[in-house]
Structure 1
Amino acid sequence: MSNGQPTILVIDDEMQIRKFLRISLKVQGYTICEAATGREGLAQAALCRPDLVVLDLGLPDLDGQQVLRELREWSPVPVLVLSVRASEGEKVLSLDGGANDYVTKPFGIQEFLARVRVLLRPSGQAEPREAAVVSGPLRVDFAQRRVTLAGVEVALTRKEYALLAILARQLGRVVTQHFLLKEIWGPSHLEDTHYLRVVIGHLRQKLDDDPADPRLIKTEPGVGYRLLQL
């Protein structure tokens, strides 16, 4: 929030739409940040820490659904999808993916502003998560999906990153095997603990973490894993 006024991030590749929203929202007293691509939008979400994100789905580099998924990995900021995609399936996918509301183009500005006001109403929402977590030499940057160890980037697979990101969000706390299996592999794999052992083993190798004397990832036998807070 800037100077006590809500900040709204508009992620849309159409310059005319951004200009129209910028004028309409500024008249209402809002501070505006803008991005024309998905990657730029994710970066701006970390930099300007908006109170609301208006997200187009048809972006030139990333599909808006992917932007939404990546944003939800580290931020609970309200998201209003604004898109020409009007199918029920697309709306359900967006809302299930973490969007708070969905408006189709073309749209009426008064209805749009009313929806913005609803999403900006105080609701006892939790404080936004940090965009990055640091534990000793390890840094997990959720906004950039980037992991570094002593300043050197570590290349991780999708599942390795997903597992480490969950542990990082619960820094210092035990995360159960069942929770990790459900979140990463789905509810049909709750007994497949060997999946976890394999991915944890690969993570430890890449993070130079000795399982016999762990500096970063500690096993809680029969329960789960913990990313140590250093």
Structure 2
Amino acid sequence: MSQRAPELPVLANAGKSWRVLVVENDAQYAESLIHGLRRHGHEVTAVERGGTALQVYGDADLVLIDLELPDLDGLEVCRAIRTVSDIPIIALTARGTELDRVLGLQAGADDYMVKPYGFRELMARMQAVMRRARPVPRTADVISHGPLTIDAGSREVSLYGRPVVVTRKEFDLLHLLASHPGSVIPRNRLMQQIWGDSWSRRTVDTHVSSLRNKLGASDWIITIRGVGFRLGNG
């Protein structure tokens, strides 16, 4: 029997908006949860299967996952994500024993809530998890490389003081390269750290090409053939 969907009280928006991936097999529960999250300004993507979650989690800021999924055990999905990503994960499940909680946390979940739960508590736990995962930016989070500036806090890029509009993955790629100036970052590390389970070798090349075009010079990202990439000087 389906669990009752959580209540949806009207809460004050904390001013933060996140991309939330909901992995939930119960259609009624998922609909109510999605509605509540969107009412509070969050962008929501919902999937029913663990395999699909492993393909799309890289575009989310936070994952809310039921452990009872039709194709994969939710614990396995948590483990698979955690091996390549530090994205915050909250398990939402009917499994409520102490052992279940321990297994969920050991599998990589940052928090664990048992159904039925209160929506107000879920929002508070989401905020707490995100505070731990995304601390207030410091000055050191702004990387300057000549005329190129990369702000990790606001996730903004500027060149000669002018904003450069980049996608989420393009920012992650550029930030990773800029965080290791002078070092060559292997292609495999880029694939694993930024795209997780993506299998296309052309994924990196496509994003590198797009960044070079947006930065106006191919020398901003140097290809080290057979190894990987490093940040250049434009």
2:35 aligns with 23
- Which of 84, 90, 94 aligns to 1:80? It is 90
Moved more, 29-38 or 106-115: 106-115
Q: Structure 1 35/90 Cα, relative in aligned 2: closer, same or farther at 3 Å? A: same
Alpha-carbon distance in structure 2 between the residues aligned to 1:143 and 1:15: 27
Residues 174-221 of structure 1 show CA distances to partners (whole Å, capped at 9, x for unaligned) of xxxxxxxxxxxxxxxxxxxxxxxxxxxxxxxxxxxxxxxxx97xxxxx
1:134 aligns with 187
Alpha-carbon distance in structure 2 between the residues aligned to 1:60 and 1:5: 30
> Structure 1 stretches of 5 or more lacking a match?
150-214, 217-227
Over aligned residue pairs, what C-alpha RMSD do you find? Answer: 3.1
2:197 aligns with 144
Secondary structure of 1:81's partner?
A: strand
Q: Do the aligned residues in 2 keep the contact of 1:6 with 1:31 (CA within 8 Å)? A: yes
> Structure 2 stretches of 5 or more lacking a match?
1-15, 142-151, 153-168, 174-185, 203-224, 230-234
TM-score calculated relative to the size of structure 1: 0.54
Q: Do the aligned residues in 2 keep the contact of 1:140 with 1:146 (CA within 8 Å)? A: no
1:106 aligns with 116
Residue 96 (1) aligns with residue 149 (2): no
Secondary structure of 1:107's partner?
A: coil
Secondary structure of 1:102's partner?
A: strand
Q: Do the aligned residues in 2 keep the contact of 1:79 with 1:100 (CA within 8 Å)? A: yes
Give 1:35-184 correspondences, 5 Å limit: 35-46=47-58, 49-121=59-131, 122-123=134-135, 134=187, 143-144=196-197, 146=199
TM-score calculated relative to the size of structure 2: 0.54
Q: Do the aligned residues in 1 keep the contact of 2:101 with 2:112 (CA within 8 Å)? A: yes
- Report the Cα offset of residue 120 of structure 1: 2.3
Alpha-carbon distance in structure 2 between the residues aligned to 1:77 and 1:124: 16
State the aligned residue count: 145
Q: Do the aligned residues in 2 keep the contact of 1:81 with 1:103 (CA within 8 Å)? A: yes
- Report the Cα offset of residue 148 of structure 1: 6.8
Give 1:184-199 correspondences, 5 Å limit: none
Q: Do the aligned residues in 1 keep the contact of 2:19 with 2:62 (CA within 8 Å)? A: yes
